[in-house]
Amino acid sequence: MTTPPTAPLRVALVNGSFEQPTVTNFEILPDASQTQAPKYVPGWRTTATDHMIELWRSGFNGVPAAEGAQFAELNANQVATLYQDLPTTPGSTLYWRLYHRGRLGQDTMALDIGAPNSPVEQRRFTDGNTAWGYYTGTYTVPAGQTVTRFAFRSVSAAGGNRGIGNFLDGVFFGTAPFVELTKTGIPQGPLEVGDVITYRVTAKNEGGGAAENLVLTDDIPEGTTYVPGSLRIVDGPNAGAKTDEQGDDQAYFDEETNRVVFHLGNGASAGQGGSLPSTETVPAGTTVEYRVVIDRSAGGTQISNTATATYENRLGDTPQPLTATSDEQITEVLPAADLTVTKAADATTVTVGQTVTYRITVRNTGPNEATGVVVADELPDSLAFLSADSASGTYDPETGEWAVGDVPYGATATLVLRAKATEAGPLTNTATVTGNETEPDPSDNTDSVTICVEPAPSCCAPCAPRA
């Protein structure tokens, strides 16, 4: 499989299948040089002095179109040459294909390609009036030739009538398909753990021929998880087509390979890609999207990936497999640290006047270092602060904040806090931890402990009454 280089200047005929303008039965109309006419044939010109081109509707006089609903007769009122002049890139390969048929019997037509003032005969076609003949070929643009004429010249026609002969249909002359992919992530970032990224990929065919069997795949980026049911064909052929997770529709998520797959273009199905015309016909191409959620493991990293499309150039004798790769989409993820705090008391029952000892432990389960860690643990009025010991940071009894500082991934910090009980009754005390980084799971950022403070016992027994 090959990846095409930068696309050459796109070459594609205008109105190659003679579908414009719509005619009834048959009509003889001005060519593309007569734009002032209320109705003319776009794209094509003729060497006939009257500038007239003859179009037939499929089925008229029992002759079906080879492609679409209309076709042309090379001889209108005169024996002439039908042509288009196209800008070309020297050295590029151009493909041609056509259908030819006689009208009254064996008709012969020549294909001329080259510089407008001196096109060169490439091939002659002779066909009867019972079936369409189909022909293909290639042409390499010579050095210095920036404009190329593609022309059909009447050689002979059965019956001897100069206004009859050489039916022509399904004409293509141009460059191979060339798919370009662009990928965006919405929102742009920086984002946080738990945020959702919507990826959009647009495929545009900047070549001449259609991109056949177009299949787009995109690996789910490391550090993210696919959001089920988020596949969507946003724009282009089959926009809004059915998608699912099992792979029996036009787009699906493949759990085994952890990638999304889209079959795109006209005629796409669950089993194969479709046909994407050039941007001459479909300027916006086709756009798809899916969503992922950012995993905790992606904290403090960059999420990046690219989309890939495979397709075929079927303009030649055998299909040519091609690939396209999108630009790399990079999303910055802010650092994340999952902090937990636990609080315990050495004794759950004390008496008034005794010392209550609390042990507060902070742990960072990552994935990044936690910075600016602070534990709020303000003592209630019924506890009188005595002391605070910690190897990490300091405790301020006035504010009740333990300024822990930085806690590396996997590390812990502990504070031993002592206070004297001054009032009887149940006593609940709470510690809450915060940090500068994204908190993937805030449910364990608070812990409480309740102790029972009983009244102090009397210091001695009542005195006995005197005798």
Using one digit for the tens of pLDDT, what is the confidence trace for 104-143? Answer: 999 999 999 999 999 999 999 999 999 999 999 999 999 9
Per-residue pLDDT at 465? 56
Q: CA 130, CA 355: separation in Å to the nearest integer?
A: 110
Alpha carbon 169 to chain centroid distance? 36
Q: CA 185, CA 329: separation in Å to the nearest integer?
A: 7
Q: CA 137, CA 89: separation in Å to the nearest integer?
A: 18
Per-residue pLDDT at 215? 98
Handedness of CA 48, 53, 59, 64 (dihedral sign): positive
Which residues in the chain come in under a pLDDT of 50?
4
SS (H, E, C) the chain: CECCCCCCCCCECCCCCCCCCCCCCEEEEECCCCCCCCCCCCCCEECCCCCEEEEEECCHHHCCCCCCCEEEECCCCCCCEEEEEEECCCCCEEEEEEEEECCCCCEEEEEEEEECCEEEEEEEEEECCCCCEEEEEEEECCCCCCEEEEEEEEEECCCCCCCCCCEEEEEEEECCCCEEEEEEEECCCCECCCCEEEEEEEEEECCCCCEEEEEEEEECCCCEEECCCCCEEEECCCCCCCCECCCCCCEEEECCCCEEEEEECECCCCCCCEEECCCCCCCCCEEEEEEEEECHHHCCCEEEECEEEEEEECCCCCCEEEEEECCCEEEEECCEEEEEEEEEECCCEEECCCEEEEEEEEEEEEECCEEEEEEECCCCCCEEEEEEEECCCEEECCCCEEEEEEECCCCEEEEEEEEEECCCEEEEEEEEEECCCECCCHHHCEEEEEEEEECCCCCCCCCCCCC
Pull the structure tokens for residue 5: 């280089």
Question: CA 58, 134, 283: angle at the middle one, nearest 5?
Answer: 70
Using one digit for the tens of pLDDT, what is the confidence trace for 253-290? Answer: 999 999 999 999 999 999 899 999 999 889 999 999 99
Which domains, and CATH codes, for the chain? 26-174 (2.60.120.260), 179-332 (2.60.40.740), 337-454 (2.60.40.740)
pTM for the structure as a whole: 0.80
The contacts of residue 465 (CB under 8 Å, 6+ apart) are none
